[in-house]
Structure 1
Amino acid sequence: MRKLIAGNWKMNGLASSLAEIEALKGLTGKAACDIVVCPPFTLIENAAKRSKDSTVIVGAQDCHPEASGARTGDISAGMLVDAGARFVILGHSERRASHNETDAIVASKAVAAHKAGLTTIICIGETRDERDDGKAIDVVGGQLRGSMPASAASSNMAIAYEPVWAIGTGLVPTIEEIEEVHSSIRQMLEERLGDDGRLVRILYGGSVKASNAAAIFRAANVDGALVGGASLKAAEFAEIISAAA
């Protein structure tokens, strides 16, 4: 399965940051994996122009369930497509926590994204307390079932397992822990989607960096990564991409 490496810039990046996309194009060339960069909304259109005719695909970090309307400050999936995005991250733990996004909200956003033609990266993951209490598999399973819409298929969706306690902390689960969760996710995808569930890419996210990427990519059922801070600089992101070859 061709790996997917996605960079989530979060609330980082100004116009000058687009130079990193130019640099990434030069560093990755004809990469052996799919590369997605998800900058803030303000940079999507120009990022799409900069990445044209390259292996770098531009995505977004969120969308609203509605196609249009009186939703001050929100952005629709159709607007993202119009700006040049082809992917969208949904249900990131930071949005689940600070914007009170439920599984149902994430699923409704995914429906809108699929209707607009976007590929969704749906994020799921447990907190430290939930892992310590032995609830990681149950929590992840509940989020997956609740966040995945009826429109989901391997052609329009990837799943990103991001343990909340590993995001931005430098902490990373053991390879055995990653494999346990990814295997469970794979089983649930197959139960829901049948044979197509075997083709859905399952990404790992949470303190992924050049020094640990290769080991993570060798783990069973790890089909790529959702990368945070390490995706902001082309040189480091390119090393992670190289590790996926």
Structure 2
Amino acid sequence: MYAVFKRELFSFLNSLMAYITIGVFLLACAMLLWVFPDTSILDYGYAELNGFFSLVPFLFMFLIPAITMRSFAEERREGTYVLLATRPLSDTQIILAKYLACVVLMVFALIPTLVYYYSISELGLPKGNIDTGAVIGSYLGLFLLGNAFSAIGIFSSSITKNQVIAFAVAVFLCFFTFSGFDSISKIFELQALGSVLVNFGINEHYQSISRGVLDTRDLVYFITFVLVFFGFTKLAIGGRKW
């Protein structure tokens, strides 16, 4: 499994696409946080990163599908998945190896954003006037969100040979699972069903963790979410192998 993980990780890092994708993500974060007046922290006037953590999930909807779209789609298009399937690895191990490679790439994209925390901390009056606990909770929320989106991206890549289709399906599913349930729940806002639908969406649990409160229910939700899409991916792969 480690060999598949390493091959997946380095094949992406050895391509120009990796640096372009991560570079565009970091540029978009910087522009939104420091340049655009509607979202600029300088115009906001408070030493906090709430705006940043509210915008990054929507950037993740494009970054992570761009990372995951080649996972299975390229293997099937080039015919190399047949060789991979003959190795003494189960479908679960193959999925997990590709999933972990995508998660590591997502972490690589997040690490440079820590400079924003340092900058805000230094610019605050007095220095260090920033809620570190909330920032840690928000980064944990982003990490869990990235894991959920990676599971969606892996599944989307497993159902098609076309990377563009895999990207489009992943973007749609990421957006729907993050914001779709909130929109649907507004139809039932006067009924008990509305609150139930909200809890199905990722946004509710992401916002809960971002407040700096680590609730086991949120952790169970994200773990269950990833496992469900693992199951979908295994079904898609198993059906095609059969």
Same fold (TM over 0.5): no
Bigger relative contact order (CA 8 A; separation at least 6):
2
More helix by share: 2
Which TM-score bucket, shorter chain as reference?
Answer: under 0.3
More strand by share: 1
